Structure 1
Amino acid sequence: MFSQQVIVVWLACLLMSVFSRAAFEEDRHDNVTELRDTFATRVADDSFTNPIIYEDLADLDVFRVDDAWYYSASTMHHSPGAPILRSYDLVNWEYIGHSVPSLEWSSEYDLAGDERAYVKGIWASTMRYRQTDGKWYWIGCIEFGKTYVYTALEVTGPWILAATLDTCFYDAGLLIDEDGTMYVAYGNTQISVAQLSSDGLSIVKTQRIYSSPGNIGTLEGSRMYKYDGNYYILVTRPATSEYVLKASSPFGSYSIKALAQSVPPPVPGGGNPHQGGLVDTPDGNWYYMAFEDAYPGGRFPVLAPITWASDGFPVLQTSSGGWGTSYPLPTAKHELPSLFGEDLFDNLRPAWEWNHNPDSSKFNVSEGLILSTATVTDDLYAARNTLTHRIHGPISTSTIVMDVSNMADGDRAGLSLFRDHSAWIGVTNDGNTLTVAMTSDITMDTSWRTTSKGTTVASAEIPNGIIHLRCTANISPGSGRTGTFSYSLDGENFTTLGRPLTLNTDWHYFLGYRWGIFNYATKSLGGSVKVTSFTQTVSPK
């Protein structure tokens, strides 16, 4: 028989063993959970999701310089033009400047009188860095007439107009060969290649290198490359397919092969990815970046890896027959500041662009954006100094905080959903009575003339001082998407005003919806507003 003391000790040891086992199991569970979460995080950190930028950045030209990638896009009538974005992993991007500081080609880009330049201006253009002279080059044809060459010693500028060519390099694609020779591929259906002078500012030679046959049809959107001793020109058949021309010399003869034909898109509801470019990584991997037509938001960039076939043509890596929703990261993730959030207007950041050239004497940015009225009009589309910002999808909310105490009689100021079918929420001053109003159904026709200046749907009288104006927009691709408007006098309690705007999905305007901050006079100039912040928040998909 065991003594009582031995039994007590034995029971104690048994209990300790049980508790230790339980503790072990708990630790094991925690460790497994931690490993699982770590693995999930690592998987997430090792992949990206399309679109890589959920913003309207069409006609992209993307290229690498050393360990950074650069991106140029179309901006039509917005100023400054041709935004420059930079990335260190091909997935996370930041706005760093513009290649075209002002649209100086004619007075219509100033919204002068009855003149306007909607949907004109910067279409598919091209940008590159040339190591032999340490210069950045941007080349683009304006209104099917002349081609303009802008250059800079630093990518962030200053950029200067260096040359005007009396030839339209339509949908230009610039290649700088190893010896510094510059070639430009361009054209619509009849594709040509031009060789530029040693300084890149004049034409030495131009030659038609390919005529699209009837079974292919329209080709445009040229992008030119050199790989493994061969020359390549990517061209798009709008708006479904991408083809590749290949030759052993810049001037041909070229053979052709499809890279992407009606590939199902990664963002449901959008069009087939097309009109893009090839780009490599420092370790020799290659990618094709295209855009997806995805109105009402615009055209969003999507990315997919490629391989090179034995015949020398690139091959798109699809997923289950479609463009992959996600792929492994091209390189180590390099986070950058968010493309959305709060802007206190201590300076005018490169993500902002004006609707046409601004009157620089009528705005100031320093501890807030001061917008003085620059135009006497009752038409939002004719008003100068509307400051625009791309909407980040799929659903986002933007809020501005605005001081209206210096508005003059007849002024209109606020926040708009800006496109060829627009609406706004803002403050109106009529006879020195202030109201917050929602105005809808402001429209243009396909000649970009105003067909409706809008109707005030709802309004409410407000006190003088600070007001918070807000809009939420769903720009995911498809019909029936809406934007709603609200306001607050304290920044916490918001009141919905008016009715939702059904967003227009027609493609002819090309650009997607933007946020627009405006202030215009209907009687006489002299009033102003101060916008102390702009905040954009993005909702989950």
Structure 2
Amino acid sequence: MTAYNNLLFVMKNYLLKTMLYIVLLFSSITASAWEGMAMPQLHVEGRYFKDANGNIVNLHGFAQTYSPWFNECCTIWNDYDVNTCLTYNQGLIDNILNAGWKVNFLRLHMDPYWSNTPGIHTKGENDISAFDYDRFTKYFQSVFVPMAKYAISHGLYVVMRPPGVCPDSIAVGDAYQKYLIKVWNYVSADSYIKNNPNIMFELANEPVRIWSDGKQAGFKELSEYFQTITNTIRVNCDNIVLVPGLGYQANYEGFADYPIKGENIGYAVHCYPGWYNSGSENTPDVNYQLFNDGWNKQIKPISDLAPIIVTEMDWAPEKYKSSFGKGVTGTAGGTGFGANFKKITDDCGNVSWLIFTTPDLLAKFKDDQGNGDTFLTDNEACAWPAYHWYQDYANKQYPHADFTFKSCADNGDGTFTNPVMQADFPDPDVQKVGDTYYMVTTTMHNFPGCTLLKSKDLVNWEYCSNPLAKMSSNAEYNLEDGKNIYSKGAWANSLMYKNGKFYILFNAFGNGDDAGGYLLSATDAEGPWTMTRLSRGYYDPGLMTDDDGTTYVVCGNKNLSVIQLDDNFAPVKEVAVDGGFDGLEGSHFFKKDGYYYIYSTCCAWPATQWCFRSKNVFGPYEKKKVFDSDDIHQGAMIQTQSGEWWTMLMKDCGAFGRMPYLLPVAWNDNWPVIGNNGTDAGTYTKPNVGVNYDRKYMPTNDNFKNYLLGSQWQWNHNSDKSKWSLLENPGRLRLYTASVTDSLQKSRNMLTQRIFGYRDKTKPSYGTIRMNISKMYDGDMAGLAVFQNPYAYIAVNKQGNTLNLVQSNTADKKVYSNPITCDSVIYLRAIADITTSKASFYYSLDNVTYTKFGQDLDMKYDLSVFVGNRFGIFNYATKGLGGSVDVDWFSTEKDFTEDNFYDKSSVVYSEKYLTVASISADKPSYSLLANSAKSFVLTATYKDGHTEDITLSADYKVSNDKIVSIKNGRFTSYGDGNAVVIASYKDPLGNTVSANLNISVNTFPLTADGINPSIYESGTYDESTHTLVTGKYGFGGWKYSNAADFSSYKYLVIELNTAQSNGASFRMFDENSYWSNPSMTDIGSSNTVKIELAKLVKNGTTTPLDLSHIYIAGFWAFGGGNISIKNIFFSNDGETPVTGIQQIEGTDKPVDVYNLSGMLLYSKLKKSDILKKLCKGVYIIDGKCVVIK
């Protein structure tokens, strides 16, 4: 074992030393989170891993490598002995779990021992010359797949890592990229691995640097490198991909500007003592702040955007020779490595991690008292604290059980079965914008309405928004004065995207003055949306934008018209289209191969689909019936990225409503041939969109812990917002009685959602609520309905001090009522059966035993309501207002408890939690290096006292965008100068606060943050005296991540306080590598050095230095002596600095005036008054730095 650990130490020692240099270079429920725990599919949502229920998930685990040497130094097995290898490593998993480790993921290294040809000498794991594809595929199936299966069967997610490590340098298109593509193309296409919900891919191990055109390159090229590999994987599957960074997976800074594109993208990070300026055994006094600053510089830029898994990390005192990292646990917020690593990752909130200690040691762990003197018992080594931290992690942010009642058309094998959504989404219209498809649907009297969905593949849909917040406040929309808008409201929307804007055109039908044409518009499909009343209506409109940008609409009922529209959607020209018969409606408009097509429905039953075509937009049109099958009709025609054509139609599916059907389209003689030669085959190969995407499930369950209602919910007519709340009793939906009535159909504030059917017809559709009834008033009726016409409900009715269980069914006009004894909470359930069109009703007092009550409802689909049956939660008064109920949750599961599906530690929102009090930046002002990027943190403090990082959600206004810009939580600096950034943040309740950030940019800042004394070898810098001391033969100065442009200046002038005696020279690099060839200018004994920039050449050559791209500049010296810097500046005469001072422009527009500290001195000051108001000095005026003499 000693020999084994010594070897590990030697192998890692070089990497650790090199990494330390790189870091300095960059610096200036139950017990279920282990075997037997739920293992739902995880996905990436924003910066988090989440399970299907929306819970944040952070994983914690260990790693295995399947080679004789890494399995206890060849003492266990050898000679490609598959069975013994599997037995040993599967036994380690058993023993680790039996030891009590609460682990839930395994990093699985597909070690090159198996894929390299025996007998061929290699230079190390980064040498792929011996790679044998046939051996890899053979042992992938016999070793790696069995190990993955075993791990998953024992409650472990699996992160697969390719064989070996990256070479020292990689380049786009190189042999190593081709090797990775070959490996991942095979792995991602494997029948067990592809789309496996429990397997992720770590694309490569420890890239060091990347080159392009013979020069060291950066993240643009790295992103291209791994984007190509990701795209290869995405053709085959949708598994989560983990992207490595540069510098042995320690630098991710540039990914903020060049992130990998696509879904399910995370990043794999390595971290050891000494990295990111953390404390190591050799530097035990390094504190938390330095570690945190290093992490924020190199990791935070991407952890702000995506989830992180640390796939290598451990620590222990070197004397144990049992870990790669040499350091101690220390104290969180103080010194040491381990405790500060935990604090940083916990605070980050989206970091999963493992300990890289060999699994045979983890398997031997015993939960004895700490403070021992062995690796497994010493609190300062990783095993003991990590073991107990894992115990804590097992109770929060772990994967929760997936819902079992989920509706999905995707069969998971490359096919789908119609309908694509087994619920009421009628009158579909679809548009493709980029690589996303959007579908809008009719919602009639339900608000917010005009439901907009989104999809990547036309099969798996998600809610996007409900754009129509409200159409009218007239009495019929409010269920007032005995009026209603059932079956009317917003009909048959048409969706269009033009010039960066979304449009939804629809016609409204009502009883008052609110009927007619309406237009919704937004630049973002998720909102906000603006509604405009149009001068006229367009019945069942179908919008089209012609090649020249002209907008047309086809519309009408019985008779059709083609209308040219102006930019305000007013008619310019209208021409009737002779359809040849009455009954045409639901028209859509598109153009293909020079033909204009009107795609319409004949509304006779069963409905049929017709197509009209013409070479002229106004006709005349010829017609053809193109589909007559199973009453499938009315919808849109769409072309995918691959050139395929599809049509999204709908089918009348009885009581559950009208459901969308997706059918392929072929073309014959410029006429569409739909489905299977004119009929519906039911199941089809999914559309070819070039990428394999996740299955999606439309949400139905809700625990009401959010401050917003989920997109699945809509109110029956307009809600009275004063009569419901998600914040009064956080974590519950509070429903006050909003109307006094004798009928549910007339009552306000019934919250509804569509009822979904399932592919398995033996599964009925459950709807259950947990309701607290302790605040009901006399006469109140509260419960759960299945609503259409007829409708039925089960409810609690309070009469005096008596609670009655009531079931009412308007089909048979019967009401069933029994007194019930209930403390405060009751469970009410409705079960709708799509096969029998019957709904039955139940109650429970314990959420275990449900008792049927009342009469079944024979569900119908009646045109008087014109939407499918819905679940509805309600509370109305029969005597007087004031009572309320609290609904804890709604579920479509047969067996539901909140703790089983939702994380106990998730936030429960309150008004104080959501109300911002102030915002502040991590620094009062920022001194930035020119032509570089720097992360910053903007924090909001809320009224309840908690804080949040709002860096990415704030809005920023920059006074001078030539000085600095902001993107993804980072300043990107340009030329020298000053600017003020106004940061504004709107909290979830709409309150806005702001703060000023003062920015100073300098090409040669003489600040501790600005100058790096250790670009090569370890140096120091004293900001108070501007004194640089390099390491031996060291280099200190400035690194410009975006390359600085010195080409517009004649001289660089260096002024020293005292002459130096260290053999110093000033060097500049036009390549992004310290090891490239710089220009060199000796400093000598002079206090002032003038460098004529145009004459600079690379050392030892006649090649001119490329002054337009300077990546590094600074001082080289023998080391140990002082370089006392007075000033460094550009000059065009060799004497005076070129400043950022600008002239006041002649216009007299009002301007804001700030001092250099960012304090607003005058607002809207006329320029003619500037000289009158301001004393001599330097100011920021209208975003420019101006001197007043």
Would you say same fold, with TM above 0.5?
yes
Answering whether residue 429 of structure 2 is matched by residue 57 of structure 1, we say no
Q: Cα offset for 1:355?
A: 0.6
2: CA distance between counterparts of 1:46 and 1:459?
52
Q: Which residue of 2 aligns with 1:392?
A: 756
* Larger RCO, structures 1/2 (Cα 8 Å, 6+ apart): 1
2: CA distance between counterparts of 1:181 and 1:98?
28
Q: Which residue of 1 aligns with 2:416?
A: 48
Q: Cα offset for 1:189?
A: 2.3
Answering whether residue 507 of structure 2 is matched by residue 141 of structure 1, we say yes
Q: Cα offset for 1:38?
A: 8.1
Say if 2:717 and 2:748, in contact at 8 Å, map to a contact too: yes
Q: In the TM superposition, what are the counterparts of 1:188-199 in structure 2 within 5 Å?
A: 188-198=557-567
Distance 1:37 1:159, change over 3 A: closer
2: CA distance between counterparts of 1:39 and 1:464?
51
Q: Which residue of 2 aligns with 1:451?
A: none
Q: Which residue of 2 aligns with 1:519?
A: 875
Say if 2:789 and 2:862, in contact at 8 Å, map to a contact too: no
Q: Which residue of 2 aligns with 1:353?
A: 714
3-state SS of the aligned residue for 1:124? strand
Q: Which residue of 2 aligns with 1:73?
A: 441
Q: Which residue of 1 aligns with 2:531?
A: 161
Answering whether residue 680 of structure 2 is matched by residue 314 of structure 1, we say no
Q: Cα offset for 1:434?
A: 1.5
Q: Which residue of 2 aligns with 1:474?
A: 833
Q: Which residue of 1 aligns with 2:865?
A: 509
Answering whether residue 452 of structure 2 is matched by residue 84 of structure 1, we say yes
Question: Which one of 310, 317, 326 corresponds to residue 683 of structure 2?
Answer: 326
3-state SS of the aligned residue for 1:136? strand
Q: In the TM superposition, what are the counterparts of 1:245-394 in structure 2 within 5 Å?
A: 245-261=612-628, 263-264=629-630, 272-310=631-669, 312-318=670-676, 322-331=679-688, 332-335=691-694, 337-345=696-704, 346=706, 347-366=708-727, 367-394=731-758
Q: Which residue of 2 aligns with 1:432?
A: 801
Say if 2:427 and 2:650, in contact at 8 Å, map to a contact too: yes
Partner AA of 2:415 in structure 1? S
Structure 1 residues 156-165 or 87-96, which shifts more?
Answer: 156-165
3-state SS of the aligned residue for 1:201? coil
Answering whether residue 571 of structure 2 is matched by residue 203 of structure 1, we say yes
Q: Cα offset for 1:178?
A: 3.3
1:25-68 C-alpha deviation (Å, 9 max, x unpaired): xx8xx99xx98878999984210011100010111111111111
Q: Cα offset for 1:456?
A: 2.1
Q: Cα offset for 1:231?
A: 1.2
Question: Which one of 230, 233, 237 corresponds to residue 595 of structure 2?
Answer: 230
Say if 1:111 and 1:382, in contact at 8 Å, map to a contact too: yes
Structure 1 residues 413-422 or 38-47, which shifts more?
Answer: 38-47
Q: Cα offset for 1:201?
A: 3.4
Partner AA of 2:597 in structure 1? Y
3-state SS of the aligned residue for 1:162? strand
Say if 1:434 and 1:464, in contact at 8 Å, map to a contact too: no
Partner AA of 1:385 in structure 2? N
1: CA distance between counterparts of 2:769 and 2:542?
39
Question: Which one of 568, 576, 579 corresponds to residue 212 of structure 1?
Answer: 579
1:130-162 C-alpha deviation (Å, 9 max, x unpaired): 1x2x22111111128521112112111121122
User: In percent, how many aligned pairs have the same letter?
Assistant: 36
2: CA distance between counterparts of 1:316 and 1:177?
24
3-state SS of the aligned residue for 2:451? strand
Distance 1:385 1:225, change over 3 A: same
Say if 2:665 and 2:673, in contact at 8 Å, map to a contact too: yes
Please, what is the CA RMSD of the aligned residues? Answer: 2.7
1: CA distance between counterparts of 2:700 and 2:713?
14
Greater radius of gyration (CA): 2
Q: Which residue of 1 aligns with 2:898?
A: none
Distance 1:333 1:406, change over 3 A: farther
Structure 1 residues 98-107 or 364-373, which shifts more?
Answer: 98-107
Q: Cα offset for 1:280?
A: 1.4
Say if 1:293 and 1:299, in contact at 8 Å, map to a contact too: yes
Distance 1:422 1:244, change over 3 A: same
3-state SS of the aligned residue for 1:123? strand
Q: Cα offset for 1:256?
A: 0.9
3-state SS of the aligned residue for 2:698? coil
Q: Cα offset for 1:383?
A: 0.2
Distance 1:441 1:333, change over 3 A: farther
Distance 1:529 1:508, change over 3 A: closer
Q: What are structure 2's unaligned runs of at least 5 residues?
A: 1-82, 84-141, 150-189, 197-235, 237-410, 759-763, 896-1189
Say if 1:296 and 1:475, in contact at 8 Å, map to a contact too: yes
2: CA distance between counterparts of 1:498 and 1:407?
22
Say if 2:804 and 2:817, in contact at 8 Å, map to a contact too: no
Say if 1:409 and 1:430, in contact at 8 Å, map to a contact too: yes
Say if 1:45 and 1:333, in contact at 8 Å, map to a contact too: no
1:400-435 C-alpha deviation (Å, 9 max, x unpaired): 111111111110011000001011111111102122
3-state SS of the aligned residue for 1:405? coil
Q: Cα offset for 1:531?
A: 0.9
2: CA distance between counterparts of 1:171 and 1:140?
7
In the superposition, the TM-score normalised over structure 2's length comes to 0.39
Q: Which residue of 1 aligns with 2:1167?
A: none
Q: What are structure 1's unaligned runs of at least 5 residues?
A: 1-18, 20-26, 265-271, 444-453
Q: Which residue of 1 aligns with 2:278?
A: none
2: CA distance between counterparts of 1:458 and 1:501?
16
1:211-253 C-alpha deviation (Å, 9 max, x unpaired): 2224xx4111010111122211111012420001111122112
Distance 1:106 1:248, change over 3 A: farther
Answering whether residue 221 of structure 2 is matched by residue 221 of structure 1, we say no
Equivalent residues, number? 485
Q: Cα offset for 1:511?
A: 1.2
2: CA distance between counterparts of 1:459 and 1:201?
58
3-state SS of the aligned residue for 2:547? coil
Say if 1:97 and 1:350, in contact at 8 Å, map to a contact too: yes
Partner AA of 1:374 in structure 2? A
Q: Cα offset for 1:341?
A: 4.6
2: CA distance between counterparts of 1:442 and 1:369?
29
Q: Cα offset for 1:337?
A: 4.8
Say if 1:343 and 1:533, in contact at 8 Å, map to a contact too: yes
Say if 2:601 and 2:609, in contact at 8 Å, map to a contact too: yes
2: CA distance between counterparts of 1:49 and 1:277?
18
| Structure showing the higher strand proportion among its residues | 1
Partner AA of 2:643 in structure 1? G
Q: In the TM superposition, what are the counterparts of 1:170-181 in structure 2 within 5 Å?
A: 170-181=539-550
1: CA distance between counterparts of 2:672 and 2:894?
36
1: CA distance between counterparts of 2:779 and 2:882?
11
3-state SS of the aligned residue for 2:590? strand
Distance 1:77 1:482, change over 3 A: same
| Structure showing the higher helix proportion among its residues | 2
